[in-house]
């Protein structure tokens, strides 16, 4: 076997991990009725428990936070019981798993929400992209701007989701403030044009993320909470007029929470598509001198490029998404320099076991 830094044990917050390879949070749209995780979800995650850490798929903290069909929730007792199957299965394999807390905000669609309600957002600005619904892709609708009096409820939804994650047996939680979802929508000025204390200045636009993070670290030990950012992503019609300023401020502000990690999506990743990176975007390397804790980088890495980013000390851990999806035993394959299964993009968001739990492992 080859000795790689990727495969070396390391501490992440309060956890000791067997390696530095992280299963990325991957939306797979395979939750059961009522957005409840099922035995097939437990099998999927348990198959990939050799990752140093699993970060679950995006999991909505409220009924109006659903962004795609058949994504799991963490806001009621049935969902908690469903997730218990998952965490038990992962722990039985010696793995570690965090829950990603998520609210889709304006990129939800009325067809997915209770009583067909209008999605919420910082401002009534429609995302110029398509929504994935049970009936295929449809244009997004103009969202409803949250009233100032409603914002504390959003914070409490994340707080309750964090409490429910403890009840479900998770090892920690990740706050999803990336990829054009609600918390990211508050950060960036193309989607946040509020005139109150949650809009306008950089400090104001970052206020909701700070409020949510404070609420979550009051539930969990600080070393068991992470935050995900995508400073350069235009996915879900996102952009900011001064991205370096807002995201530098956010990373600095997050230092006070003693988080387990900052999870940074590299500029070349736009949703599940990898594009050319001209080197001017804001990735893990940019945040190295700003954020004082561990950094996880997400960026379509290979065995070689993941090892290089660790050796260059631009990040401490590397997420793998599509490669882990198709190779449940990815750390073993990296150790042996073995061939990799090819992923089938057509099954990323389908149903059933095909392309989900039927990828083969090495037979040695």
**Which sign does the torsion angle of CA 292, 294, 300, 305 carry?**
positive
Which residues make Cβ contacts (< 8 Å) with residue 263, sequence separation at least 6?
Answer: 55, 174, 178, 226, 227, 228, 229, 295, 296, 298, 319
- Cα atoms in the 13 Å half-sphere on the side-chain side of 363: 2
Contact 83, 35 (CB under 8 A): no
Q: Reduced to 3 DSSP states, what percent helix, strand and coil does the chain have, rounded to the nearest 5?
A: 35, 20, 45
Contact 228, 176 (CB under 8 A): yes
Angle 56-253-279 from CA coordinates, rounded to 5° = 70
Indicate if 181 belongs to the active site: yes
**Which sign does the torsion angle of CA 63, 180, 213, 315 carry?**
positive
Contact 13, 260 (CB under 8 A): yes
Q: Directed axis angle between helix 77-92 and helix 151-167, to 10°?
A: 40
- Catalytic residue (choose from 35, 44, 68, 181): 181
d(CA 35, CA 27): 13
d(CA 152, CA 155): 5
- DSSP alpha helix (H) spans, 180-274: 182-187, 202-205, 207-219, 243-254
Which residues make Cβ contacts (< 8 Å) with residue 194, sequence separation at least 6?
Answer: 122, 123, 145, 200, 204
d(CA 110, CA 64): 9
Classify residue 314 by its DSSP letter. S
Angle 323-328-334 from CA coordinates, rounded to 5° = 60
Q: Which residues have a catalytic role annotated?
A: 181
């Amino acid at each position: 076997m080859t000795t790689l830094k990727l495969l070396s044990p390391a501490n992440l917050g309060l956890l000791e991990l067997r390696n530095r390879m992280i299963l990325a949070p991957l939306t797979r749209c395979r939750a059961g009725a009522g957005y409840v995780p099922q035995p097939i979800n437990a099998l999927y995650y348990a198959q990939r428990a050799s990752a140093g850490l699993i970060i679950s798929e995006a999991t909505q903290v409220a009924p109006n936070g659903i962004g795609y069909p058949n994504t799991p929730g963490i806001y009621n007792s049935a969902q908690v019981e469903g997730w218990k199957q998952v965490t038990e299965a992962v722990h039985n394999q010696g793995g570690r798993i965090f829950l990603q807390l998520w609210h889709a905000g304006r990129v939800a669609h009325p067809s997915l929400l209770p009583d067909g309600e209008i999605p919420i957002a910082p401002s009534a600005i429609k995302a110029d992209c398509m929504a994935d619904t049970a009936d295929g892709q449809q244009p997004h609708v103009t969202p409803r701007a949250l009233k100032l009096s409603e914002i504390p409820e959003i914070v409490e939804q994340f707080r309750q989701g964090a409490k429910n994650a403890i009840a479900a047996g998770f090892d920690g939680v990740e706050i999803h403030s990336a990829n054009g979802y609600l918390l990211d929508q508050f950060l960036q000025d193309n989607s946040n044009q509020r005139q109150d204390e949650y809009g306008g200045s950089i400090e104001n636009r970052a206020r909701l993320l700070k409020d949510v993070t404070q609420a979550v670290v009051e539930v969990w030990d600080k070393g068991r909470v992470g935050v995900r950012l995508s400073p350069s992503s235009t996915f879900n019609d996102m952009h900011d007029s001064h991205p370096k300023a807002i995201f530098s401020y956010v990373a600095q502000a997050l230092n006070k929470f003693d988080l387990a990690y900052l999870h940074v999506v590299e500029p070349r990743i736009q949703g599940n598509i990898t594009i050319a990176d001209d080197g001017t975007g804001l990735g893990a390397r940019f945040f190295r001198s700003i954020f004082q804790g561990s950094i996880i980088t997400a960026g379509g890495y290979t065995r070689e490029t993941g090892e290089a980013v660790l050796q260059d000390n631009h990040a401490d851990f590397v997420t793998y998404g599509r490669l882990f999806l198709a190779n449940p035993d990815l750390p073993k394959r990296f150790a042996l320099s073995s061939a990799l299964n090819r992923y089938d993009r057509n099954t990323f968001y389908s149903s059933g076991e095909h392309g989900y739990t039927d990828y083969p492992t090495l037979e040695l």
